[in-house]
Homo-oligomer: A and B are copies of this chain.
């Protein structure tokens, strides 16, 4: 059951995961400082560009974990900065479709691409199989985090 070697592997992965995530938070903050934005804004742009298609304000709120009110303010900032555009949805006139502005977004992706090369060097040392293993783990970790988060939200708080 508790193979000490496996336990050690788990422990180490846990540790590295925390450090990795902490580093990401710091890195995200550095990018935000560099661009004169807020970490939330950069995070939002990352999500907007990760998947295609315009998003509604509500979708952005759900993705970032803020309320619709704060999401409105977030889109306000991004729109004022020229990073996104608002457009009314003809199908449902209550909705507002938010689309990234490629020309402006390029300033952000330029920072990412700058590291992209270093990233590719890092990934280049992996075989196809290894990359798939990592990717699969990411996806499953994402699904698990998501499920646990929802479970956590629908549970009575201690205190």
Residues of A at the B interface (CB closer than 8 Å) are 5-6, 9-10, 12-13, 15-27, 29-31, 33-36, 43, 46-47, 50-51, 63-65, 107, 111, 115, 118-120, 122-123, 126, 128, 130-135, 137-142, 144-149, 152-153, 155, 157-159
Contacts and interface: CB of A to CB of B under 8 A. Distances in A.
Nearest to A24: B21
Given A21-B21, A34-B152, A145 B16 contact: no
Nearest to A147: B118
Contact of A148 (B17, B65, B118): B118
B152 A18 contact: no
**How many identical subunits does the complex contain?**
2
A77 to B, nearest CB: 15
Given A13-B131, A25-B65, A27-B145, 7 more contacts: A16-B135, A18-B46, A18-B47, A26-B145, A27-B149, A35-B158, A133-B134
Contacts of A43: 22, 25
B133 A130 contact: yes
Contacts of A128: 5-6, 9
Name A's interface SS.
helix
Nearest to A12: B135
Nearest to A107: B158
Contacts of A142: 16, 19-20, 23
A137 B135 contact: no
B115 A148 contact: yes
